[in-house]
């Protein structure tokens, strides 16, 4: 049943802006800069005490960029930024990314329009006034015709629901909410739940210090050598000297990086020896480049996929000395259909005497006590619990915000069976609300700072269109939402991705509707949205701007 959310008219003043942005991470920062450049009055709200979003919160040991890294994991809107900023390593550590974002905030004077330590508790649309109102935990209220949700694809922590976990009396940290004060593992018995990107980055670092580390693994993972190294002066000089052509390449590449798309060759066209030689060369080089030098059917053909997964499984067996432990570490899903992970000494960590691996598939957790975790095979006394259990990803932060659209219908109601939207940015019944990196957009499959710029550029033009034509509201039609949902699914269904349980499909959160939630069309997405704009914003409906006395 639809809850007709009728906003309580709270007393107290209300601030008015042209646009309100929720979130001061990579996307929200750019949205602020862009809209301000367009001459708009803008206010950003963020619950943290500083900028950075995901990079602000994820301070766990070993946290680094685990995609194609520096110097191209960056904004592109200002060439000066590239010319003046020195990245040190190919896989920048969390503090280096945050330093960069701090620099951007200073250089473009962003902080004056950001209100930190301010959590948006509610957002609702006023049909008559054609504007959004946000309510915050500090009592601040603001309204604006446009609401930009830059709430993050990986920012709502997924907390495991395990009997007794709240009784555990030792230290307990989620990787995505890591304390700002140093955490010491020295002399402690630590357990880590989770072997996704965060767990696999943190585990080798924790093992170096802890008295004992118990890894509680639900799904064995494919991990590839990160190959982190200092950037060479030649790479830095090249990035600077060839900035324009690099941007061109970034726009043409499926993932938004200045590398060539995979060669048009099936893995099955090569002999086993040729394949092995190619995989080995990529493995030795390390980094996300592994996935750019592959064949073009690894995530399409089961047989091709098998050639790569066999290669990685062989590497795991060669690295881990104890055959029983190695066996537990062998993944059995299609390689790359769960987020590919870059590691630094992850499998080697299991050769240490102070590390134990528990395979939860054969030895599940029964419960926690104040001082231990009990699995089917027995009790593991621990002093600290690290939850590397990931996020209610991609759609989770929008659902946590749960804005109320026309007629007070909440997003939870609208999305009870699927993340209905158009172009991954706009939602029917939620006029003038735009998501950056929302479900149904390329999001986490694309260079995120660049993706934010490109989506926000498109949204800015749509806002200009409205303002220029005296239009007051825009939202997608039901038909266009339905067609977009089918398009997102059809592209994904042509691959092996939807056949694996992952946070991309929503399978990591109990009860979440299961749909592959990213647009896998790569850079084609940007052609697609440009065409929509050119065709007079095909798929959207508009309302004329109401004058105050119409309302």
Q: How far, in Å, CA of 529 to CA of 417, rounded?
A: 25
d(C-alpha 458, C-alpha 530), whole Å: 8
Nearer to ligand NA7, 405 or 498 (CB): 498
Query: Distance between terminal CA atoms of the chain?
Result: 28
**Got the DSSP string for 211-257?**
SEEEEEESS---EEE----BPPHHHHHHHHHTHHHHHHHHHHSTTSS
* Residue 196 or 256 with smaller CB distance to ligand NA7: 196
Sheet of 189-193, strand order: 171-174, 384-387, 189-193, 212-217, 355-359
* 434 backbone dihedrals φ, ψ, rounded to 5°: -130, 135
CB of 464 to ligand NA7, least distance (A): 33
**Which segments within 274-369 are labelled E, that is strand?**
341-343, 355-359, 365-369
CB of 374 to ligand NA7, least distance (A): 14
Q: Which tokens belong to 424?
A: 């991954």
189-193/384-387 β-pairing: parallel
CB of 49 to ligand NA7, least distance (A): 22
* Residue entry with tokens 């030689």: 277
* Cβ closest to ligand NA7, residue 129 vs residue 360: 360
What is the rounded distance in angstroms from the CA atom of residue 4 to the CA atom of residue 408?
5
Beta-strand runs (E) in 337-382: 341-343, 355-359, 365-369, 372-375, 378-381
Q: Cβ of residue 47: shortest distance to ligand NA7, in angstroms?
A: 19
- Output 391 or 458, the one with its CB closest to ligand NA7: 391
What's the min distance (Å) between Cβ of 333 and ligand NA7?
A: 9
**Rounded distance, CA 183 to CA 172, Å?**
11
Q: Are 468 and 540 in contact (CB under 8 A)?
A: no
* Nearer CB in complex with ligand NA7: 203/294: 203
Question: Cβ 360 to ligand NA7, closest distance in Å?
Answer: 6
CB 275, min distance to ligand NA7, A: 26
Q: Tell me how far apart the alpha carbons of residues 334 and 199 are, in angstroms, rounded to a whole number.
A: 20
Nearest to 508 by CA among 178, 194, 150: 194
What sign has the CA pseudo-torsion 487, 488, 489, 493?
Answer: positive
Q: Which is nearer to ligand NA7, 104 or 518 (CB)?
A: 518
For residues 335 and 312, the answer to whether their CB atoms sit within 8 Å is yes
Shortest distance in whole angstroms from residue 250 CB to ligand NA7: 19
- Residue 73 vs 279, nearer CB to ligand NA7: 73
**What residues make contact with ligand NA7 under the rule CB under 6 A?**
66, 154, 158, 160, 175, 193-199, 218-219, 339, 360, 388-391, 444, 503, 508
Nearer to ligand NA7 among residue 396 and residue 485 (C-beta)? 396
Give the Cα separation of 179 and 192 in Å (integer).
16
Q: Which is nearer to ligand NA7, 308 or 358 (CB)?
A: 358
Dist. CA 75–CA 30, nearest whole Å: 8
Nearer to ligand NA7, 77 or 224 (CB): 224
By beta-carbon proximity to ligand NA7, the closer residue of 397 and 508 is 508
Residue 205 CB coordination number (10 Å):
17
What are phi and psi for residue 102, nearest 5 degrees?
-60, -40
d(CA 190, CA 324): 22
Phi, psi torsion values for 525, nearest 5 degrees: -55, -40
Residue 128 corresponds to which tokens in the numbers above?
A: 């008559």
Closer of 92 and 158 to ligand NA7 (Cβ)? 158
| Minimum CB distance to ligand NA7 smaller for 388 or for 473 | 388
Q: Closest separation between CB of residue 251 and ligand NA7, Å?
A: 22
The CB-of-286 to ligand NA7 minimum distance in angstroms stands at: 17
């Amino acid at each position: 049943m639809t809850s007709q959310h009728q906003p309580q008219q709270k007393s107290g003043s209300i601030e008015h802006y042209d646009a309100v942005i929720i979130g001061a991470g990579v996307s929200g920062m750019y949205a602020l800069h862009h809209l301000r450049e367009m001459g708009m009055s803008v206010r950003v709200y963020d619950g943290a005490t500083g900028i950075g979003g995901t990079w602000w919160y994820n301070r766990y040991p070993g946290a680094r960029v685990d995609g194609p890294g520096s110097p191209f994991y960056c904004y592109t809107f200002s060439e000066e930024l590239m010319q003046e900023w020195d990245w040190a390593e190919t896989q920048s550590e969390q503090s280096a990314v945050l330093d960069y974002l701090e620099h951007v905030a200073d250089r473009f004077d962003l902080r004056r329009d950001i209100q930190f330590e301010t959590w948006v508790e509610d957002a609702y649309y006023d049909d008559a006034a054609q504007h959004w109102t946000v309510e915050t935990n500090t009592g601040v209220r603001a309204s604006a015709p446009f609401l930009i949700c830059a709430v993050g694809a990986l920012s709502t922590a997924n907390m495991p629901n395990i009997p007794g976990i709240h009784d555990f009396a030792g230290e307990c940290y989620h990787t995505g909410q890591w304390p700002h004060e140093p955490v010491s593992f020295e002399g402690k018995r630590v357990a880590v739940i989770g072997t996704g990107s965060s767990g696999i980055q943190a585990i080798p670092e924790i093992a170096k210090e802890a008295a004992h580390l118990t890894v509680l693994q639900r799904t064995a993972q494919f991990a590839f050598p990160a190959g982190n190294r200092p950037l060479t002066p030649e790479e830095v000089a090249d990035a600077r000297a060839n900035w324009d052509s690099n941007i061109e390449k970034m726009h043409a590449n499926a993932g938004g990086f200045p590398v060539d798309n995979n060669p048009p060759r099936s893995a099955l066209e090569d002999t086993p020896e040729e394949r092995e030689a190619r995989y080995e060369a990529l493995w030795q080089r390390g980094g996300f480049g592994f996935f750019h030098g592959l064949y073009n059917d690894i995530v399409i053909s089961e047989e091709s996929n098998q050639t790569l997964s066999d290669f990685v499984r062989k590497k795991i067996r060669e690295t881990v000395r104890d055959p029983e432990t190695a066996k537990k570490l062998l993944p059995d899903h299609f390689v790359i259909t769960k987020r590919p992970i870059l590691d630094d000494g992850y499998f080697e960590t299991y050769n240490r005497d102070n590390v134990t691996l528990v395979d939860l598939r054969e030895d599940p957790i029964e419960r926690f006590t104040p001082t231990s975790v009990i699995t089917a095979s027995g009790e593991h006394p621990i002093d600290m619990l690290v939850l590397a259990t990931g996020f209610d990803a991609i759609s989770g932060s929008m659902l946590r915000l749960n804005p109320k659209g026309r007629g007070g219908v909440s997003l939870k109601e609208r999305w009870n069976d699927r993340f209905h939207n158009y172009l991954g940015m706009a939602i029917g019944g939620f006029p003038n609300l735009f998501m950056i990196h929302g479900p149904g957009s390329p999001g986490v499959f694309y260079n995120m700072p660049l993706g934010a710029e490109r989506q926000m550029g498109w949204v800015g033009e749509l806002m200009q269109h409205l303002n220029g034509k005296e239009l007051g509201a825009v939202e997608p039609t039901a038909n266009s939402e339905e067609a977009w949902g089918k398009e997102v699914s059809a592209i994904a269904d042509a691959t092996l991705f939807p056949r694996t349980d992952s946070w991309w499909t929503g399978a990591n959160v109990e009860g979440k509707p299961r749909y592959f939630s990213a647009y896998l069309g790569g850079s084609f997405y940007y052609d697609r949205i440009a065409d929509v704009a050119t065709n007079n914003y095909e798929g959207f409906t508009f309302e004329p701007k109401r004058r105050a006395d119409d309302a």
